[in-house]
Amino acid sequence: NAGVTQTPKFRVLKTGQSMTLLCAQDMNHEYMYWYRQDPGMGLRLIHYSVGEGTTAKGEVPDGYNVSRLKKQNFLLGLESAAPSQTSVYFCASGYKSTNEKLFFGSGTQLSVL
Amino acid sequence: AQKVTQAQTEISVVEKEDVTLDCVYETRDTTYYLFWYKQPPSGELVFLIRRNSFDEQNEISGRYSWNFQKSTSSFNFTITASQVVDSAVYFCALGGAPYYNQGGKLIFGQGTELSVKP
């Protein structure tokens, strides 16, 4: 069982470059989330989606865009990377609502130089 | 606004000691859900428990127990007879009812890093 798969696992960018992180889940989950994890800050919600074709802003959405064109995929884009976006990014998915547990990917380590 | 506070940044104990991780939350919702997740050194987050706002019963699962008190907005987690394998970062999280909470935000606390030494 694949569960939640994030690609890539590691990436180094230069300031101003763009990239897309891909999250794929094979559990037919409606809800998908992108979080970033920074030392001392815990997990902060960037964007989330409650279904195919929908997206919503989380706690720290600036500098990121997302798309959910297919139910199983949730893409996180950085149009012009900044050093402040150096972080570990986690994708998560959930079946139906926030009363259900989330399944997390293994994370993407992103460094912006 | 929803908020989760884990005031303990790091805790260090010796194996077999009991340890309690604190979690305090803020929400205006009358229906909400609380969670604990564990993040071992491997990095992936693992679900531990879910509790809804209507159920204040304490729960015990093996060496783990959880104390939910609405009166103090707390959802504390206790590990009895800790083991080295319990070393991890533990996160408390709060989710609102999806019907009127913009469809499903799940907000995490800052995490508590637990180190259990042999």
Please write the tens of the pLDDT for every residue from A54-108: 999 988 999 999 999 999 999 999 999 999 999 999 999 988 665 678 899 999 9
Mean pLDDT of A35-52: 90
Q: What is the pLDDT of residue B51?
A: 87
Is the CB of B44 inside 8 Å of chain A's CB atoms? yes
Contact B104 A45 (CB under 8 A): no
Task: State yes or no: cis peptide before A8, omega within 30 of 0.
Answer: yes
Residue A37 has pLDDT above 80, yes or no: yes
Distance, CA of A54 to CA of A101 (rounded, Å): 20
Given a contact cutoff of 8 angstroms between Cβ atoms, the answer to whether A104 and A91 are in contact is yes
- Report residue B99's pLDDT band, with 50, 70 and 90 as the boundaries: very low
d(CA A23, CA B116): 33
* Cα separation, A94 vs A107, whole angstroms: 16
Torsion angles phi and psi, residue B71, rounded to 5: -60, -30
Mean pLDDT over B72-86 rounds to 95
- Cα B12 versus chain centre, distance: 17
Q: According to the model, what pLDDT value does residue A1 have? A: 61
Taking the Cβ of residue B12 and every Cβ of chain A, the question of whether any pair is shorter than 8 Å is answered with no
Distance of CA B93 to the CA centre of its chain: 7
B104 interfaces chain A, CB cutoff of 8 Å: yes
- Other CB atoms within 10 Å distance of the CB of residue B97: 18
The pLDDT value recorded for residue B93 is 93
Q: Is A107 on the interface with B (CB under 8 A)?
A: yes
pLDDT of residue A99: 63
Which residues, 6 or more positions from B91, have their beta carbon under 8 angstroms from its beta carbon? A42, A43, B6, B36, B37, B38, B39, B45, B108, B109, B111
Contacts of A56 in chain B (CB under 8 A): 102-103
Scan for tokens 């531990």, then name that residue.
Answer: B48
- Report whether A94 contacts A101 (CB < 8 A): yes
Q: If contacts are CB pairs under 8 Å, which of residues 54-83 in chain B contact chain A?
A: none
Set of chain A residues whose Cβ sits within 8 Å of the Cβ of B33: 98-99
